[in-house]
Structure 1
Amino acid sequence: MFGALLLSVFLAVPVFADDSSELADDASELGSEDMLAEAATLPLEELRLFAEVFERIKTAYVEPVDDAELLEDAIRGMISGLDPHSAYLEPDAYQDLQEYTSGEFGGLGLEVGLQDGFIRVIAPIDDTPAQRGGVKAGDLIVKLDDTPVQGLSLNEAVALMRGKPNEPIVLTIVREGIEKPFEIKLLRDRIKVASVKHRVLESGYGYLRVSQFQVNTGTELAKAIGSLQNSGPLRGLVLDLRNNPGGVLQAAVEVSDAFIDEGLIVYTEGRLANSELRFNASAATVAPKVPMVVLINAGSASASEIVAGALQDHKRGLVLGTDSFGKGSVQTILPLTAERAVKLTTARYFTPSGRSIQAQGIVPDIRVEEAEVRNLDNGGRVKESDLSGHLENGTGAARTATGANAKLVEQDFQLFEALNLLKALVILQPPLKQG
């Protein structure tokens, strides 16, 4: 018997991590006294009603119904009625869940949940058919090929989205701000997800992108930071958590620990004793102590919110962007058999200052909406240096370009603003004392 703490929203292929076996054991192996106490308070009238409905279906439904299928349907409905993130995992879903932690799985690359009977896109995963095809966080999927989504369970809809690589599928999308539904055609693919990417934005300014939290994300982040440092001294860092739907709790702790020297990172509270956990920084930071900006948006959920909340509470970085998704619950994987399991919400998590972001989200320190920006033509205005006979500078200084990368403002306005903010923080830092 093993367990898993899960911090992602409902996924096209769920995220799984084996990092809390005690919690699962306590949840699935209650002592006999506890079970007897529970049995003494069972709602007998409702159980009689269940048995009556079961019998009516068996005898009166238009077609014969298999007992096992009927009971599995009852289990599925019982769990799905709890909250949007608890689920009954049948063999295919359970196998997919375990594959997901390796960062390789089949599908479109969509993180999804249910909303008003439709499939809501939490976030497209980087470098996947969904992301390349233009699917955006917040989109509602109303049809999969010719099949309406309304009335399907999440697992049924996900099953329709799966398929062999290069098999096409047409998503009918409803998007805020667009009057009519429209179609996006995608080719299914075998998706390999690198959870951490990095690059140098400008000399001295590094960029770290965490697309989701997998088992090895902490290690990947440390390597990425080392690579950035090898490219030259770092003066500032951008940590991009936009459209990151979450994942493994321990990975979120490790990423936070990379930047925080000491103190609480996150804690959880639930009904089981072992669901009350506290995670503290280990003083083994791997990132340089330079100014940081953390980017979030509505697609940043769960584990992403843990990291953003911890860095915000510790004043380790400024959070920029828009309000995050607001998933503050923890799911535990409770195996039932070798092929079946229950993914059950067992706890809420809290930021170091005691904030629960459940249905609230992380509010950025500086709000910057996603926007398309174009540069205005300056009209070739004449400057002093263009005048005939102008005086020379006098210090011999050459003209140098200033400001953030000009192309970045058109490609990614939020990242452009983050880089500008980093530069301001660096400028305002007190000068180093000379020894």
Structure 2
Amino acid sequence: MTTKKTAVITIVQKNTGFYISLYLLVLLTLIAFSSNVLASSIKDLKRQQIDEILFNIHAYYVEDLTLQNSHHIKYNSQQFERLYSKLDSYSKYLNEHELTSLFDNTNGRYTGIGIEVKNIDENMTIVNVVNNSPAKAAGILPSDIIVSVNNQATQNRTIDEVATLIRDSKFSNIELIISRDNNKNPLTFHVARRQINLESVTSELLDFGTGYIAINNFSNHTLHEVALQVAALQSHFGYPLKGLVIDLRDNPGGTLQSAVAVSDLFLQSGTIVTTKGRFYDANQAFYAKRGDILKNAPIVVLINENSASAAEILAAALKDNKRATVVGSQSFGKGSVQSLIPLGDGNTALKLTTAKYFTPLGKSIDGIGITPDVAVNQTNLSQSNKAVIIKNEHTNSNAQLLTGNLADLQLVKAKQLLSMQ
């Protein structure tokens, strides 16, 4: 399948998980630093780093690339790049900046302006604006198109190139020229980069004693945040929830450990996920322990084509164990596990696909995705759009227009299913 290209500027990656011999750090994600694994940074690698990368590919990569099984063969630059290009799009050499960004994002923070972009019809289109971010404060909106960054046109540039323009800017304020549908002339915004704390989980009250939580990504804090949000919903009603909607739409993934732990919150028993690879420690099985935070109250899980990796683990765990009804559209289908392998002095690393994961029923969803129990297709909704619809806010004309034009059909179906149980 073709990898969907989405990125949070500056380009960040979510994830960490269990350790393999205290050496490999397990990652799950949809958002990649680049779909082109031949990043310019590998052209500057030293001989020792190349040797390390070759050894780790041979030892741990999920597929045997038959590296001629000899440490005596000297790879020249072109041979190395050809071999490197055989890796999947989730495997990549990480320079110091990318490695720092990965760890920051795993801990629920990153430094940037707070926009999620996607290349749509060769336009650098903003698909989401992060809450509590400089971009949000400046008034940048989803569906805005970035025309230029600091007078550098974005046309015909990759997402990584645009991210670099923002990240490496020598100016304290970044100038964005934005094209917006209802404006004849381009808009100019000046936005400063800063550290942003990412909101992993949000919640809302629904009717009839039911609740709603949206898990936006799986970070090291997600388990704690989900537990707190569910407790807050139950405290409001004064009794256990009668049902819960778990919204995983547009969730690109996160840590394996977090996905397993959140799944375990709602399961009394059963397999959560298994992983299989070429070396011993890549083969793992994760099982639920007794204790269901909802005491078996019904659950509906919402997914769409941008629900990936760790989000798919949670959806499949609840679906296959018959703990939840899954509503929405076919998920992304990212069923592989990446490990983070430190290189040299530890300031750089190799992110390498080391295993495939399988649902509780033993199915691989890689390139396929999860099929919902109840299929309901609709236009994607940003997190801000979802919030307006859920709350049914009518605080201004924009909100009224939004609720009039973007009925959340998937959420409506989820609420209907809960009311029937």
The verdict on a shared fold, with TM-score over 0.5 as the criterion, is yes
Alignment partner, residue 357 of structure 1: 365
Deviation at 1:265, TM superposition (A): 0.9
After superposition, residues 21-420 of structure 1 pair within 5 angstroms as 21-22=20-21, 24=23, 40-41=69-70, 47=75, 50=76, 79=84, 81-110=86-115, 125=130, 128=133, 133-135=140-142, 144=149, 146-147=151-152, 155-162=160-167, 167-170=173-176, 187=191, 188-232=193-237, 233=239, 234-336=241-343, 337-364=345-372, 365-370=374-379, 410=403, 415=408, 417-419=410-412
CA distance in 2 between counterparts of 1:142 and 1:356 reads 40
- Contact conserved, 1:80 with 1:87, CA < 8 A, in 2? no
Matched to 2:360, the amino acid is: P
CA distance in 1 between counterparts of 2:283 and 2:350 reads 20
Matched to 2:341, the amino acid is: L
CA distance in 1 between counterparts of 2:254 and 2:94 reads 17
Alignment partner, residue 375 of structure 1: none
Q: Identity rate of aligned residues, in percent?
A: 32
- Contact conserved, 2:124 with 2:145, CA < 8 A, in 1? yes
C-alpha deviations, 1:52-110, integer Å up to 9, x for none?
Answer: x69xxxxxxxxxxxxxxxxxxx66x8546522211111111111212222211112435
Alignment partner, residue 40 of structure 2: none
User: What SS does the aligned partner of 1:231 have?
Assistant: helix
Change over 3 Å in CA distance of 1:278–1:111 after alignment to 2: farther
Alignment partner, residue 19 of structure 1: 18
Deviation at 1:170, TM superposition (A): 3.1
CA distance in 2 between counterparts of 1:98 and 1:205 reads 35
Alignment partner, residue 386 of structure 1: none
Deviation at 1:16, TM superposition (A): 3.4
- Contact conserved, 1:143 with 1:173, CA < 8 A, in 2? no
- Contact conserved, 1:117 with 1:149, CA < 8 A, in 2? no
Please say which of residues 306-315 and 160-169 is displaced more in the overlay. Answer: 160-169
Change over 3 Å in CA distance of 1:21–1:290 after alignment to 2: same
Deviation at 1:227, TM superposition (A): 1.2
Deviation at 1:322, TM superposition (A): 2.2
Alignment partner, residue 45 of structure 2: none
Answer 1 or 2: higher relative contact order, Cα 8 Å, separation at least 6.
2
CA distance in 1 between counterparts of 2:69 and 2:197 reads 50
CA distance in 2 between counterparts of 1:354 and 1:207 reads 29
Show structure 2 runs of 5+ residues with no match. 27-51, 61-65, 382-389, 395-401
Matched to 1:91, the amino acid is: E
Change over 3 Å in CA distance of 1:19–1:424 after alignment to 2: closer
C-alpha deviations, 1:140-163, integer Å up to 9, x for none?
Answer: 978655546688676544322326
Larger CA Rg, structure 1 vs 2 = 1
Deviation at 1:202, TM superposition (A): 2.7
C-alpha deviations, 1:342-380, integer Å up to 9, x for none?
Answer: 1111111111112222222222223131389xxxxxxxx
Change over 3 Å in CA distance of 1:140–1:205 after alignment to 2: same
CA distance in 2 between counterparts of 1:152 and 1:92 reads 21
- Contact conserved, 2:243 with 2:299, CA < 8 A, in 1? yes
Change over 3 Å in CA distance of 1:155–1:223 after alignment to 2: same
Change over 3 Å in CA distance of 1:280–1:42 after alignment to 2: same
Matched to 2:108, the amino acid is: G
